[in-house]
Amino acid sequence: MAERYRFNQSFVLKREADNYNKYHDKLGFEPIGREEMKEIEADYTLAKDRVGRVFNGDLGWAAEALGFENKVKVGLQHLEQDLKMEHWRPLYKWSCQHNHAGYRGFGNMLADIGRQGAGYSVGPSHYGFSDPLQFCSITLLQLTGTYIGYPSSTDGELVSMRLLSEISTRLRDILVDK
């Protein structure tokens, strides 16, 4: 799986380089040079030879592990479902609505949560960041646990996970008090 992920980067880079070179004039930039394109194409060919095909989309490397044919475009929601973490999706969407374009208008933003009365938040604000930061700490805890093989029989690793869990809880308490 790790090899498929690593080689997928070559497929993505080739697609992005080809797309950039297609529009470089309209963008007002120079094209990617021949030597650099040769390196990108060599990596692409190596990856294709190694895994046997080009993956479909940015997350195509995960299709086989999820039981999909390569014809299905794997999305982040498929990975979430497979990991039984789809319950985090609503909070993720809600907490990143300032950064990613969507359908929500004013009045549904993080900085406006709990606001009483008329008006909208204007300009920079720290209000509303406690939830996204808490979600981030939970994600870091989960990733670290996965990386060290949690649950583990090694006492040091269990202590590390307990410490990270405590940090996540304290972060939540600090953010809620602010």
Same domain as 136, residue 60 = no
Domain boundary among 57, 82, 107: 82
Same domain as 91, residue 144 = yes
Distance CA 8, CA 48 (A): 9
Q: What is the pTM of this model?
A: 0.57
Same domain as 118, residue 105 = yes
Same domain as 166, residue 140 = yes
34-38, 88-92, 115-119, 174-178, range with the lowest pLDDT: 115-119
Same domain as 171, residue 96 = yes
Domain boundary among 82, 117, 148: 82
pLDDT score of 85: 82
Same domain as 110, residue 42 = no
Same domain as 173, residue 93 = yes
**Max mean pLDDT range (71-75, 124-128, 172-176):** 71-75
pLDDT score of 172: 73
pLDDT band at 37 (very low <50, low <70, confident <90, very high): very high
Same domain as 49, residue 28 = yes
When divided into structural domains, the chain yields a total of 2
Same domain as 90, residue 78 = no
More confident residue, 57 or 48: 48
For the segment 57-102, what is each residue's pLDDT rounded down to a tens digit? 788 888 888 887 766 788 888 888 888 888 888 877 777 766 666 6
Nearest C-alpha neighbor of 12 from the set 54, 70, 66, 49? 54
Same domain as 91, residue 67 = no
Supply the range of the domain harboring residue 18: 2-82
The dihedral region occupied by 93, where left means phi > 0, alpha psi between -120 and 50, and beta the remainder, is: alpha
pLDDT score of 133: 76
Q: Work out the burial of residue 63: count CB atoms within 10 Å of its CB; fewer than 13 is exposed, 13-18 middle, 19 or more buried.
A: buried
Same domain as 127, residue 162 = yes
Domain boundary among 82, 111, 130: 82
pLDDT band at 56 (very low <50, low <70, confident <90, very high): confident
